[in-house]
Amino acid sequence: MDITPLELIGSIGVVLVAAVIFVNAVEYVGYKLNLARSFVGAIIAPIFTSIPELTVFLVAIFAVGNTAGQQVGIGTVFGQPFMTSSLSYGLVGIAALVGFLVGKRKKSDLAIDKGLAIPYVFVIFLFPLTLVPSLVPASNVVKYAFGLALFAGFLIYVRMMFHGTEGELIEEYEECYLQKYGRQIIRRPLVAALIQIIVAVAGLYAGSEVLVYSVITIAKSIKMSPLGLALILVPAVTVIPETMSALIWGYRGKDTLSLGSLVGEQVLYSTFYPAMGLFLTSWALDRHAYFSVLATTVVSFILLAQFVLKRKLPWWSLCTGLFFFFAYAALVFAFQF
C-alpha cells in the first residue's frame, strides 16, 4: 500500500481528532455515572482513555498483519510509557512551574496522594520484565508464562488500589462536545456522548489503518525499524488528550489528578497491554524497546525516590524525562539509531 505524505498527515489528524473527542465523551460519561469519584473510575478511566492506542495496536496486528504490522503494534505498547515518562511528565513539570510563577498554585512542588506511589512501584518492577521473553530463543512457553504473570500483576495492582486511599476528586468534566455544540439537535447528553463515542471509534479505526501503513512505509524508506518509529510517532499523537488534561490539572494545582491520569496508563502499558502483545505477537524486540524500558524505569525510580524522601515531587524531577525524549529523537532522526 503506497502512502503519500499528505495521507500520513491526514491520518495523524484523523487519529488526533478522534482521540480528543473520544476521551472527552468517555470522561463525560464517567462523570455522569459517578465513576470518576471512586476506585472504579481510577481503574476504568485509564482503560477507556487508552482506547486510541489500543485501536492502533489491534489494527496493526489484525488489519495490517505481517511482521511489520506486529512491530508497529509492539512499538505502540512500548511507546506510551516512554512518551509519558519523557514528554508528558516534563510538560506537567513546566506547567506546575508556570502555574506557581503566575499565582495559580501555591508551590512549584507537586503534592500527591500517597497511594500514587503504588503505580510507580509496579512500573519499576514489572515493565523491565517485558524484555525477558524476547531474550529467550523461540520459547512460546516462556512468552505465555510472562504474559500470564503480567496480567496477574495487573490484577494485583487493581486489588491494591481498591484497598488504597482515595485521592483528589474530579470536580467537573468538560461538557460533551456534541451536546455542547449541537444542543438543538440532540437534547439528551448521554445520547450525544454515545454517538460521539461511536463516531470517534470509527475515526480511530480508519485513521489508524492509514497511520500504521504510513509508519511502515516511512520506516522502510529511511531504513529504520517500524517498531522504533512507531514508538515515538504513534504515542505522540494518541497521548495528547491525556497530556492536555494533566497539564491543566498541574497548572491549577490538582497534582494527584494530574499525575494519576498519566501513571494509571503507564501501569496498563507495563502489565495488561504487554500481556496482550505476548499472546498476540511474536514479541520480537529491538534496541528501541530496550531504550523505552530504560528511560521509563529510570524516570519512574527518580519520581518514586523523590516522593519517598521528600513526600513531594519537585517540578524539575518531572523534567528529567525530557533528556530521554530529546536523546531518543536525536538518535533516531539524526543518527538513524
Residue numbers of the domain that contains 191: 5-333
- Is it the case that residue 300 has pLDDT exceeding 70? yes
- Is it the case that residue 206 has pLDDT exceeding 80? yes
Q: Which residues face 110 on adjacent strands? A: 313
Tell me the whole-structure pTM to 2 decimals. 0.81
Check residue 249 and give its pLDDT: 75
Check residue 239 and report its DSSP letter.
Answer: T
Separation of alpha carbons 103 and 97, rounded Å: 10
Spatial contact of 249 and 255, defined as CB atoms under 8 Å apart: yes
Binned at pLDDT 50, 70 and 90, residue 122 comes out as very high
**Number of domains within the chain:** 1
| C-alpha cell at position 316 | 524539575
Check residue 337 and give its pLDDT: 64
| C-alpha cell at position 74 | 509492539
CA 76 to the chain's CA centroid: 9
For 237-256, the pLDDT digits (tens) are 777 767 777 777 788 777 87
Q: What is the mean pLDDT of residues 32-52?
A: 63
Spatial contact of 84 and 262, defined as CB atoms under 8 Å apart: yes
Spatial contact of 61 and 281, defined as CB atoms under 8 Å apart: yes
Report the CATH number that the domain containing residue 305 is assigned in CATH. 1.20.1420.30
Check residue 253 and give its pLDDT: 79
User: How many alpha carbons lie under 13 Å from residue 29 in its C-beta half-sphere?
Assistant: 19
For 256-295, the pLDDT digits (tens) are 777 877 888 888 889 999 999 999 988 989 899 999 999 9
For 70-99, the pLDDT digits (tens) are 888 898 899 889 999 998 899 999 988 998
Q: What is the mean pLDDT of residues 146-164?
A: 85
Spatial contact of 109 and 268, defined as CB atoms under 8 Å apart: no
For 99-113, the pLDDT digits (tens) are 889 888 888 888 877
